Structure 1
């Protein structure tokens, strides 16, 4: 148990600005020091450090505390570890921690392998710095690596003329341990170095311990890359190159950039990107998903721009969304990997791509046509299904609506038709007939006012009541927002959502026709139809046929009736008795909801 007096003394003696300055850059302004907050995505310095009061505070996200709180949170350490770090920095030993035993998360065998890997790295680095490493150094220099960067990345060289195995043998290292680490290989009873005539890059875990290595040729030798084989430490599904070095930047930005290869990470580091990791050519695994969840970050996928890269981006994005992780995709339209782009002098192009990520739904709408032929009806249906897969994972109504709009532009189908198809898909109805590609093309000419091809019904009048109510006043905004899902007209749904957003962010004000027209003209909604009465001189004729609660209940009823019809259709189309029973039960439950709603309206 550490006495409170000791803890108080450490807080008193520690120079807050000096220690925090070891972790993040500080700038003095007046009596305080300021920095970008390391605990949220800060755009301008809002993190204040007051050495006199011995406290820090972010005036943006609200995080605050003393030196122990900072070290604990920044290094993701427990209290005693943070206390020990600070006591060491201020040279104030804590007797109670002198014999503290911290249980290692690694077994004794793993610690031996880590130690051997460190020894191997030192060997490869010495060889790179020697006469035998001159050609490798020249290659690295041409690739843009100076001596400082070679040291930063701890790059080594495995030479055919200086045997790693024989050197280790002379130092009495155990052959079986060398094999377990994947550093040597056996062939015809003889032992050979695993890495030969290759640049060697250490692959570390989050704690900075070496799991294994990746070797890269500097000539036409194949394969170009050779990784440590699967070992007790080196598991291909659990690799995240540069995680240990990128953690501070990831913590500050709250974003992690996911690349394919470690050379991509190194090249982006040269142009100032510090929050990148590489999957080392593997797919996202449970390890990565758990890691991102723990870090509480947004994932930015930046994979290659070729077809395999597009497929990998879509697959990875879906995994992340299913894991409830925020994700965006960097659209690499160059067909080159980031490493090539940097060395071809296209850093500006890279930054443009990095600053314009897309949500997976929008990316899928644009990229899936590269994978399927939309001219074939059966593949067109597959395209819609694959896009709908992503639409299901979008929780924000506005993004769903925008997605349907983009899909409409891509397919020349109306948002209404797409909305109906999506509903069928969402209800998991097998055998539904999705729309075929339209033969006609959409023109950009101004739409002419038209009338309904049927007599307006209660649903139409209810939608009009809600629209007119929202145009006139934000009084019922929250109530309308809660029940938007019942609107049967997808185009109107988008307009209603934009009005709600406008009220909330100040871009729309009640009865402002100029602001209203700006919203309507950007939509596909047929606002010129006389039924909607969307003309300033007609506003005097507006009157609510029923109260707003009744209008909302009417739309909810419409939504439930549509669902009931879909289940009735499914019952007719299946011959499997158990399935019929299942869907009949759901249909009956929906019907009861309809009855209950009608009672509320009476």
Structure 2
């Protein structure tokens, strides 16, 4: 059975969208809405809007939009039942037992079987490491100075040199090829058939926050390529939404989380007592990673390698971490390359000192910017200061901006007032428009058709000023909204207006497909720039006239030649249309 609509609406109403979204995106109030950097596409200027009145979000850059359910489904990749359970728990609402559809049961069963299969594989790899076949792998781990306790706690294992060893083992356990193919543990080749993805590698089981094995990483023994290999995406493994070591780090009770580059960094740090270390899984840090970190900490220390690649990785990660509302710092390990090398050379105590002295992320960005200029040349030095001023403008809070101006002025021995003038000059130039990439690779929509724009505007205005409905009631109908989705949305909204209770987020719930929800959200977020109330009233009158005129013309075009009654009705509607040109509409 499906959950009753009343229960779904209660769960939505008890989870304020601003509270929920602010757990993932840093929001700042502007007028009646909140704005932040969109978590669904890369941008530098906030175009992601969250409306507490509408209980909706909408990105003016990429078009992402919906209610609190849509947000979690898109951000967390949850199914609707998973979202409902999450938000019900958050609101303290007990969900009744429900029957799942055949497809839901099938997917849930597949996930359960894959988790069990991964547990079997992890145990097999763990056993292999301690067998004669795993001697090379164990010697490698010992050469990295890992203790037996550490090897055990991380469940490290070994895939021996035979490329069909795990496959044969699984077949003996009665596991079918279809499930093995779904697991990501096997490769399939027309000539070779099915064979192990991991062989002749030290194995690192990857666990989710609940310590369930969801995938594997493997480090090759010898000179094979690639050096590190990860499980592919599966129904239970998404590398952009999981972090290695987070199952332990989230309970470490430290004030921050150390974000490293690889498995061995995390393992070495945990062994040295830094159980708050995590690493991304063969990919750069993503917005989903940052949102995941936000659940467990307010501060991230980027603990990347000290080489150029590590520096670039830190520069890419800083804006992502900050956009999630996290404080970001950068740890310097020179003259050592990575945490493992540092700790082996100087020990845990010295590493803690480096953590305590981790550099503020903005000051780190400034120091990286400095490398691009010849500071001995007056022209280069001036260009550098102008570049710094442009970055300082990005701080919207005056006190914060002043503090950073002071810090930069002190570091580079420049007069505070001189740097502040440069910042003010940069601000006066105005922000440069940022080109945002269309969501999910879709081409940005071209100029909307006029009638669609008009229909969007009217729906948005009716949401924001419900009293307008009384002035246009009887003069325009839902039939005048000729597009399928526009018509459905208008019907739902007009019904709410009749009842005197407008809840846009509830209308979004009516649509089941994410694409429809995004389109519906866009209908409630249209805008038209007007300077005076008189201009606004004129725009309203013209919009109502345009929609009604289009509706009449559309209905007449659909008439059968023999439909005399329909033709007569159309003639009456056209006579009434003239009255709309002189319709007085008040926006008060």
Deviation at 1:188?
3.8
Residue 143 of structure 1 contacts residue 343 of structure 1 at CA under 8 Å; is this kept in 2?
Answer: no
Give the 3 Å change call, closer, same or farther, for CA 238–385 of structure 1 in structure 2.
farther
**Corresponding position of 1:331:** 332
- Residue 175 (structure 1) aligned with residue 177 (structure 2): yes
**Corresponding position of 1:164:** 166
User: 1:372, 1:213 → 2: CA distance?
Assistant: 43
Deviation at 1:141?
1.6
**Corresponding position of 1:422:** 423
Residue 257 of structure 1 contacts residue 300 of structure 1 at CA under 8 Å; is this kept in 2?
Answer: yes
Offset from partner CA, 1:119-171 (integer Å, 9 cap, x none)? 11111111111111122212212211222211101001000247101111222
Offset from partner CA, 1:445-481 (integer Å, 9 cap, x none)? xxxxxxxxxxxxxxxxxxxxxxxxxxxxxxxxxxxxx
Offset from partner CA, 1:207-231 (integer Å, 9 cap, x none)? 2222211101243333221111233
User: 1:108, 1:376 → 2: CA distance?
Assistant: 67
User: 2:332, 2:387 → 1: CA distance?
Assistant: 18
Runs of 5+ unmatched residues, structure 2: 1-85, 433-528, 533-588
Give the 3 Å change call, closer, same or farther, for CA 380–167 of structure 1 in structure 2.
farther
Residue 215 of structure 1 contacts residue 226 of structure 1 at CA under 8 Å; is this kept in 2?
Answer: yes
- Residue 216 (structure 1) aligned with residue 219 (structure 2): yes
User: 1:382, 1:234 → 2: CA distance?
Assistant: 46
Give the 3 Å change call, closer, same or farther, for CA 156–169 of structure 1 in structure 2.
same
Offset from partner CA, 1:80-104 (integer Å, 9 cap, x none)? 99x9xxxxxxxxxxxx99x989999
Deviation at 1:385?
5.9
Specify the SS of the correspondent of 1:344. Answer: helix
Q: After superposition, where does 1:106-505 map in structure 2 within 5 Å?
A: 107-161=108-162, 163-190=165-192, 191-249=194-252, 252-374=253-375, 383-384=384-385, 387-388=388-389, 390-392=391-393, 394=395, 400-408=401-409, 411=412, 413-429=414-430
**Corresponding position of 1:441:** none
Residue 146 of structure 2 contacts residue 268 of structure 2 at CA under 8 Å; is this kept in 1?
Answer: no
Deviation at 1:426?
3.0
Deviation at 1:376?
7.3
Offset from partner CA, 1:192-243 (integer Å, 9 cap, x none)? 2111111001111112222211101243333221111233333231220011
Residue 287 of structure 2 contacts residue 321 of structure 2 at CA under 8 Å; is this kept in 1?
Answer: no
Residue 364 of structure 1 contacts residue 387 of structure 1 at CA under 8 Å; is this kept in 2?
Answer: no
Deviation at 1:272?
0.8
User: 2:324, 2:119 → 1: CA distance?
Assistant: 35
Aligned length: 342
Residue 331 of structure 1 contacts residue 363 of structure 1 at CA under 8 Å; is this kept in 2?
Answer: no
Specify the SS of the correspondent of 1:295. Answer: coil
Deviation at 1:390?
4.9
User: 1:342, 1:209 → 2: CA distance?
Assistant: 29
Give the 3 Å change call, closer, same or farther, for CA 391–292 of structure 1 in structure 2.
farther
Specify the SS of the correspondent of 1:107. Answer: helix
Residue 254 of structure 1 contacts residue 297 of structure 1 at CA under 8 Å; is this kept in 2?
Answer: yes
Question: Which structure exhibits the higher relative contact order, with contacts defined as CA atoms closer than 8 Å and separated by 6 or more residues?
Answer: 2
Runs of 5+ unmatched residues, structure 1: 1-76, 84-95, 432-581, 586-602
TM-score, structure 1 normalization: 0.51
User: 1:290, 1:334 → 2: CA distance?
Assistant: 32
Specify the SS of the correspondent of 2:206. Answer: strand
Deviation at 1:266?
0.6
Deviation at 1:277?
0.9
Larger Rg: 1
Specify the SS of the correspondent of 1:300. Answer: strand
CA RMSD of aligned residues (A): 3.7
Deviation at 1:419?
1.1
